[in-house]
Structure 1
Amino acid sequence: MRMEQRLTDEEQLTLKTGAFGAVFLVSNADPGMFAMIRESVAASGAFNDASGVVKEALTVGPLPQLPRDSALEVESMVLPALGRAVDILRQKSPGDVAVYRELVLAAADRVARVSRGVAPAEAAVIDRIRTALAEPA
């Protein structure tokens, strides 16, 4: 069994881009001004459940800079970041792969459920997030 290794700043940013970006994608799938506030609180609650390497990655350093032009651009950045995050954790902290996956999916689910239940567009985004987090075939 490999020992946990410290993540570089760039690796931490990759984990953060994936996690925060996933929440943004779900929130943006069914937008609403007041819902956005509740969704932010819901995501924070899920992220507070993090521990170890994942918690450090999500709480240390700058926030990721996501594209502002379109949801498609955000998705094209975030989904690959989720896959890279899983690869990083598999190499440096294998015990945290499941933690990261569960945390991202829990945050996405909480965001989707906080306002009027899970809309079809939110469910579709969560499915794409789940796929991005999956082990390669």
Structure 2
Amino acid sequence: MSEPLTDEERMTLKSAAFGAVFLVSNAEPGVLSMVKESFAASNAIAGSTGLVREVLTTGGLPRLSAGSPGELQPAEVEAVALPALRRAVQILSVKAPGELENYRHTVLRAGDEVARASDGVSEAEAAMLDKIRDALSAS
């Protein structure tokens, strides 16, 4: 790592990753599914390594919307999370290039695990995973 991540950069990485999980989970909403999906996301994130694991499992709660806290709306989260994923890629490209693939893999794995947690991957979940993949591919 060329220089340490600032608290704001850490929050960007965390908010982007958790935002991506939220978006996949809400692409096909359901109360019972949400429990399975939460466990699936937690396991994927807990299975990460290095700086990515440290950033995603420590510190404050992620910021998932630009508005006031409360009930999150998927459109608001998408407007924050997808740009945050692109920013996370930029941050890691500069400050921790060795962690970039680990981050991409962890976020995509978490999203994929969430989509598969309940009745397989729906069209809506697959479409959201494509959006996430596109954001993570930005350079």
Relative to the length of structure 1, the TM-score reads 0.93
- Distance across 2 between alignment mates of 1:53 and 1:125: 26
Q: How far is the alpha carbon of 1:93 from its aligned partner?
A: 0.7
Q: Which runs of 5 or more structure 1 residues have no equivalent in the other structure? A: none
Q: 2:21: which partner in 1?
A: 23
- Distance across 2 between alignment mates of 1:115 and 1:63: 25
- Code of the residue aligned with 1:50 in structure 2: it is S
Moved more, 111-120 or 68-77: 68-77
Is the CA contact 2:46–2:57 (under 8 Å) kept in the aligned structure 1?
A: no
- Cα offsets for 1:2-25 (capped at 9, x unmatched): x45321111110000110000000
Q: Which runs of 5 or more structure 2 residues have no equivalent in the other structure? A: 66-70
Q: Following superposition of structure 1 onto structure 2, how do residues 37-48 of structure 1 map, counting pairs within 5 Å?
A: 37-48=35-46
Q: 1:111: which partner in 2?
A: 114
Q: 1:129: which partner in 2?
A: 132
Q: Following superposition of structure 1 onto structure 2, how do residues 1-137 of structure 1 map, counting pairs within 5 Å?
A: 3-67=1-65, 68=71, 70-136=73-139
Is the CA contact 1:26–1:125 (under 8 Å) kept in the aligned structure 2?
A: yes
Is the CA contact 2:24–2:114 (under 8 Å) kept in the aligned structure 1?
A: yes
Q: State the SS of the aligned residue for 1:118.
A: coil
- Distance across 1 between alignment mates of 2:17 and 2:64: 12
- Distance across 1 between alignment mates of 2:135 and 2:83: 7
Relative to the length of structure 2, the TM-score reads 0.91
Is the CA contact 1:6–1:53 (under 8 Å) kept in the aligned structure 2?
A: no
Is the CA contact 2:11–2:63 (under 8 Å) kept in the aligned structure 1?
A: no
- Distance across 1 between alignment mates of 2:7 and 2:63: 14
- Cα offsets for 1:44-85 (capped at 9, x unmatched): 110012122111111121111323452111101000000111
- Cα offsets for 1:81-135 (capped at 9, x unmatched): 0011111111111010000001000000000001000010000000000000003
- Distance across 1 between alignment mates of 2:46 and 2:72: 29
